[in-house]
Structure formats: structure tokens, C-alpha cells
């Protein structure tokens, strides 16, 4: 199934910290063959305050969970896509968000986040619509 | 005697491997260095796999998390399907 989500930094961080709902959601979406993209720059930001064992768990998930995929920055096109987004975030530099949006636009996947409010100031600066799905069990 | 072969590597990489062999002391060969690096790599991958499996096992053992995640996953899939058809 060529549909999926792009995980943001707060979600990756929560996962690394052992949030059981996020973890089980990832397992659940993987079982449904929903792709979960993790942008490399976003991962770098998300894991900066995680411990070694927590980082191991995140990296192990990327390596061994079938539908979780690292989105690298290894080509000029990938670099350019981030740059195009980053240009709009210059007032409040947010490289983690820039890579999420770049991947989201490129793949046509919405953003998966545990905190919708994290995206309000970002989306307000962008000229494009970026869909965001919040991990919430309240409605 | 163990079969041996030749591999082509950039000179800079060979120099780094030689430096590691020197650090290993007398008698340490490049083959020893490569074997050690492979072992460390395998250990790292095993550690990562175990850490990930432990995280998923902990979540799967939490009935409340399983129920919540299932509800959220259904909504998340519906959200994707709605986008696809619109």
C-alpha cells in the first residue's frame, strides 16, 4: 500500500522514551502495511536528548520494522527539497520541521504527531497545505 | 590453511586499518582488525534489535495502550483512505 505518514520529532522522541501508545501504534500501522517515514534531520533532532539505550531502540526499529523507513539526505534533490521549505522557516529556524515537510510534500504523506500544536507556528509560515494527523484518543 | 583473498580498498582506508592494527599491538593483522570491526557491528545491530523488541514487547503487554493504539490506528487509516479518495 503506497500510503503512509511522516513522523515528526516529538513523536520519534516519545517513541524513544517508551510511550506505549505510540509504540503500539507503530506496530499497528506496520501490521497494516502503512509506511512510516522518519526524516534523517528530524531523527537527529529528536534523539539529541535520548539515552543510548533509547537511541538503540529507535535505530533498531528503523532497521527491523518493515514499514518504518529512514528518509536520508544523500542527493542534491533531497537537499534542495529541505532548502525550499527551510526558506520559509528562516525567522524561527526549525530544521526538524523542514525535513518533515520536505518528505511530506515529496511523498504526499501527512504528518503524524503527538502534539498538533507543535505544527501551528510552522504551518502558519508555509505557503502550502500540510496535513497533520494527531495521535490522540480523545475524540 | 584458511583461504585468503585480496580486496581493493582506497589507500586512505587501508592506512586507517593499518593504524588500528598498530593500536592492537604486535601480531595484529588487518584481518584481525576487520574481524573485530565486524564483531562490533554485529553486536551493535543485536543491541538495537533487542532494544526495539523490548520496547514493542512492553507496549504489547499494556492492554490500555493496545486498546488506545488500535482505536487511533483505525482513525489514522481512515484518514489516509479519505485523502486517497478525495
Q: Where are the domains of chain B?
A: 11-61
Q: What is the pLDDT of residue B59?
A: 97
CA-wise closest residue to A20 among B43, B65, B14, B86: B65
What residue spans of chain A are helical by DSSP H? 9-16, 20-31, 40-46, 52-64, 76-86, 95-107, 120-125
In tens, the pLDDT along A9-29 reads 999 999 999 999 999 999 999
Answer whether A70 touches B (CB < 8 Å).
no
Cα distances from A92 to residues A125, B15, B33, in angstroms, run: 9, 44, 46
Does A65 sit within 8 Å of B52, measured CB to CB? yes
Count CA within 13 A, CB hemisphere, residue A42: 29
In tens, the pLDDT along A59-113 reads 999 999 999 999 999 999 999 999 999 999 988 899 999 999 999 999 999 999 9
Answer whether A34 touches B (CB < 8 Å).
yes
| A69, A42 contact by CB (below 8 A) | no
With H, G, I as helix, E, B as strand and everything else as coil, classify residue B7: coil
Distance from chain centroid for Cα B59: 21
Sheet of strand A35-39, all strands in order from the earlier edge strand to the far edge: A68-71, A35-39, A4-7, A111-113, A132-134
Contacting residues of B for A25, CB less than 8 Å apart: 69, 72-73, 76
Q: What is the pLDDT of residue B1?
A: 59
Structural domains of chain A sorted by starting position, each given as residue range(s) with its CATH number in brackets: 4-134 (3.40.50.1010)
CA-wise closest residue to A35 among A74, A67, A12: A67
Angstrom distance (rounded) from CA A118 to CA A115: 6
**Widest pairwise Cα distance in chain B:** 69
Fill in the DSSP letter of residue A127. Answer: S
Does B51 sit within 8 Å of A56, measured CB to CB? yes
Q: What is the pLDDT of residue A1?
A: 55
Backbone torsion region of residue A108, taken as left when φ is above 0, otherwise alpha when ψ lies between -120 and 50, otherwise beta: left
Which of B52, B60, B79 minimises the CB distance to A60?
B52
Cα distances from A130 to residues A29, A77, B73, B85, in angstroms, run: 21, 20, 20, 17
**Whether ipTM exceeds 0.85:** yes
Chain B CA closest to residue A14? B55
With H, G, I as helix, E, B as strand and everything else as coil, classify residue A138: coil
In tens, the pLDDT along B28-78 reads 999 999 999 999 999 999 999 999 999 999 999 999 999 999 999 999 999
State mean pLDDT over A35-53. 97
Angstrom distance (rounded) from CA A126 to CA A116: 16
Is residue A139 predicted with pLDDT exceeding 70? no
Is residue B86 predicted with pLDDT exceeding 80? no
Amino acid at each position: 500500500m503506497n500510503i503512509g505518514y511522516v513522523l515528526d520529532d516529538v513523536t520519534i522522541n516519545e517513541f524513544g522514551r517508551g510511550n506505549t501508545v505510540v509504540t503500539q501504534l507503530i506496530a499497528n500501522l506496520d501490521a497494516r502495511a502503512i509506511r512510516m517515514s522518519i526524516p534523517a534531520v528530524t531523527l537527529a533532532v529528536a534523539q539529541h536528548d535520548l539515552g543510548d539505550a533509547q537511541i538503540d531502540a529507535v535505530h533498531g526499529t528503523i532497521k527491523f520494522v518493515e514499514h518504518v523507513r529512514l528518509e536520508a539526505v544523500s542527493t542534491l534533490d533531497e537537499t534542495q527539497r529541505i532548502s525550499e521549505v527551510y526558506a520559509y522557516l528562516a525567522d524561527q529556524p526549525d530544521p526538524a520541521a523542514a525535513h518533515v515537510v520536505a518528505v511530506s510534500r515529496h511523498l504526499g504523506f501527512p504528518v503524524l504527531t503527538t502534539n498538533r500544536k507543535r505544527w501551528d507556528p510552522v504551518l502558519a509560515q508555509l505557503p502550502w497545505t500540510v496535513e497533520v494527523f494527531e495521535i490522540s484518543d480523545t475524540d | 590453511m584458511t583461504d585468503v583473498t585480496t580486496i581493493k580498498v582506497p589507500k586512505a582506508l587501508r592506512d586507517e586499518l593499518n593504524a588500528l592494527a598498530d593500536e592492537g599491538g604486535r601480531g595484529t593483522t588487518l584481518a584481525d582488525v576487520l574481524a573485530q570491526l565486524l564483531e562490533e557491528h554485529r553486536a551493535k545491530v543485536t543491541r538495537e534489535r533487542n532494544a526495539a523488541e523490548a520496547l514493542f514487547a512492553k507496549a504489547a503487554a499494556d492492554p490500555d495502550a493496545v486498546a488506545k493504539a488500535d482505536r487511533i490506528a483505525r482513525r489514522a487509516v481512515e484518514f489516509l483512505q479519505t485523502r486517497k479518495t478525495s
